[in-house]
Amino acid sequence: MIPIGVFDSGVGGLSVLHALRSAMPAQDFIYLGDTARLPYGTKSPQTVLRYSLQCAAALIQRRIRCLVVACNTASASALEALRESHPSLPVIGVIEPGAAAAVAASASQHIAVIATEATIAGGAYQKAIQRMNPNARVTSRACSLFVAMAEEGWTQGAIAEAVAHRYLDPIFSNDPPDTLVLGCTHFPALMAAIRSVVPPHVHIVDSAATTAASVLQQVGVSCPRGTPGKVSWLATDGAARFARVGSLFLGETLAADAIEIVDL
């Protein structure tokens, strides 16, 4: 079976891969984590574009049927360039599905987006949401420390909750939104901490599941439940660390010796 390629700046995209595997259990995948150059969220758009084109080229060399950009920053900075560079290959990002889910979920159409510095600065979610509903109001905030915490495995407890309060309390103190978009694939790892400080009625959108649905719709993959598909693991640095932290995101144990280190 021709695999689907998935890349992210690190292990955060494993939340997208998990959703893809749940939706397409018989499909094979190749996952590339660009761990040597993490994080993307503090890099310039030009640098993120260059890194993304290199990640895509590495996956395309291994023959893939579809490319999933499982990184919000890369989706914001490089999605159109990737589509232009590879016109015959379906290229799917995480921002459009997440924006669509937020617009559908919000009764007030006041939507908050938290993401990396680069994603917020580029305005990708704001533009996508307001393209779908011009009357929507979008409150956004960069929460870059969440990425480092997720990569370190500091996802629960007093420290995680204190950082979540620091980032989120200003958003929900006055005229609060009713929907919160987790605009970085690392952020679902901190879901418990985020949920503990966000008002209980607020709908939290994780674009992983909606991205998986978008892949099914656009690629038309038929996935009967039978023999489980395989995953090939690639990283640009630190196989042991990738396996340790990736196991937390994926919900299953990864072996360091199963991860191939590649040079982009």
What are the residue numbers of the active site?
71, 184
What single letter denotes the amino acid at residue 236?
Answer: T
**CA R_g for the chain:** 17
CA distance 203 to 211: 17
Q: At what angle do helices 145-152 and 158-173 cross, to 10 degrees?
A: 150
Helices vs strands, H then E, count in the chain? 11, 10
CA distance 208 to 185: 8
Nearest alpha-carbon partner for 143 in 194, 211, 208: 194
Q: Which residues contact 210 (CB under 8 A, 6 or more apart)?
A: 97, 98, 100, 101
CA distance 41 to 110: 24
Strand partners, 113: 140, 181
> How does strand 29-33 pair with strand 67-69?
unpaired
Tokens found for residue 228:
């489980």
Residue 5 three-state SS: strand
What single letter denotes the amino acid at residue 223?
Answer: C
